[in-house]
Amino acid sequence: MASASVFQDEFCCSICLDLLTDPVTVTCGHSFCLKCITGCWDQEHYKGVYSCPQCRETFTPRPVLRRNTMMAEMLEKLTKTEVQSDDTAPSNAGPDDVECDFCTGRKHKAIKSCLTCMGSYCEVHIQSHFQVACLKKHKLVNASSRLQEKICSQHDRIIEVFCRTDQKLICMLCSMDDHNGHKTVSAIAERTEKQKKLLEMKRDNLRWIQQIKKEVQEVKQAKKYLQMSAQVAVEDTEKIFMEMISFMQKKRIEVKMSIRAQEGAEVSRAEGLLKQLELEIAKLKNRDAKMEQLQPIEDPIDFLQSFQSHLTFSSVAKNLPKVTFETKFSFREVMKAVSPSLNEKTKQFLQDIFKVTGFVKGDTVKLNTPQETPAMRLYSGYGYNQNTVSGVGEITEFGFKPHLSDPTALFRPFRNTRVRCASFGLLLNSAADATSSSALS
């Protein structure tokens, strides 16, 4: 490389100070790039006298420039030699690479680590482990900066055994001392077993994601239906109340506000659940990404250490809030309070109102997750609480309940709370009050 650098200096253009390109030699013997010398002489054209940029010898008329073929071939060979030298040289270690422990000066990137020598080697220094007979027996792994973590701190031996009783990595001497009588297997065998569990967890994790995505779509549809129905109800009640006398004119605004309040509360609740479900999806995807990073690790020690120290499983929420939409109307007191002359008009008014209130008498939508799956049983060993799979959930109903004793407070909001056993899911339900229908008879 040093000799190549010297040759490069000899073939530099004195005008651009770079390696000669299309070299030409003028009469005085100096060589330049064809483009460089042509540019210089173009500037001297008005003088009629042309000079060498290096020795200042003048020429008249302008010399004809011809390509120096021999010099061009030498430059081409020099360039190829330099490229080949760069390709065969070991690459320098970057900030995220493992450095070779045996390089002096600039550290090269290590490609292998020796668990026997407890050192990391670049492509050049690792050759001794392939050529020397006694070094061929050493255990080589991919370059790692965590070599010390693969050595037992108690016996200074390589960690190559997994104790299933204590769920920890140990060396061979540990298996005969502190872990004597425990159920132990090789790290490779345990990695194979854990890899099977990892694949099973990934499959179940993907099923959970698909299930929650499905529920997200159903909640979005329920939310859209609620908003559309509420909008239709508002428009219809506007038309009805515009036909009523002054008493009903006052009540028009109250009903509209009540409908809007109910819509806002239930939409807000649905949006809250959507955020919660989307958060669960994000958590599951994050867990899936960790599994993807863990799966290709070939070194059993790295795999098991990463598996135990970095892969934690937070349980998916099983009991989400249950929401019920329910509105009940009774207009018996309206008919008692208004003038007898408006009795027929009021009956028609009540019938129209009951038609409008159908926006909360829609279909029942149940969003339920599957029963206990192998994944949930598998996760139980990693912080998953099986008692949360099925439990008692509190359902709060919101709506409008009539106050028969006070005709001026027809649509006063009510809140009922009841308890119901349910698995993970959202319940959107609505029921008509039977006593409300009797008000029309």
Kindly list the structural domains of the chain, giving each domain's residue range(s) and its CATH number in brackets, ordered by start.
2-88 (3.30.40.10), 191-438 (no CATH)
Tell me how far apart the alpha carbons of residues 107 and 197 are, in angstroms, rounded to a whole number. 40
Count CA atoms within 13 Å of residue 75 on its CB side: 21
What percentage of the chain carries pLDDT values higher than 70?
63
Q: Which residue has the higher pLDDT, 376 or 55?
A: 55
Range of lowest pLDDT (221-225, 262-266, 376-380): 376-380
> Residue 67's beta-bridge partner residues?
24
For residue 101, the Cα-to-chain-centroid distance in whole angstroms is 36
Q: Is the pLDDT assigned to residue 412 strictly greater than 60? A: no
Tell me what pLDDT residue 389 has.
35
Q: Is the pLDDT assigned to residue 391 strictly greater than 90? A: no
Tell me what pLDDT residue 208 has.
94
Tell me what pLDDT residue 77 has.
80
Q: Among all chains, which residue has been given the structure tokens 């698909």?
A: 210
Q: What is the mean pLDDT of residues 361-384?
A: 41
Tell me what pLDDT residue 148 has.
79
Give the pair of three-digit tokens for residue 384: 């998953």
Cβ atoms 413, 400 nearer than 8 A = yes
Q: Is the pLDDT assigned to residue 425 strictly greater than 60? A: no
Tell me how far apart the alpha carbons of residues 140 and 401 are, in angstroms, rounded to a whole number. 77
Tell me what pLDDT residue 165 has.
93
Strands of 276-389 (E only): list them.
322-325, 365-368
pLDDT single digits (tens) 177-209: 889 899 999 988 999 999 999 999 999 999 999
User: What do you get for the CA distance between the two ends of the chain, in Å?
Assistant: 106
This prediction has a pTM of 0.35
Tell me what pLDDT residue 29 has.
87
Tell me how far apart the alpha carbons of residues 196 and 202 are, in angstroms, rounded to a whole number. 10
Cβ atoms 211, 320 nearer than 8 A = no
Identity of the residue numbered 399 = G
Q: What is the mean pLDDT of residues 87-113?
A: 78
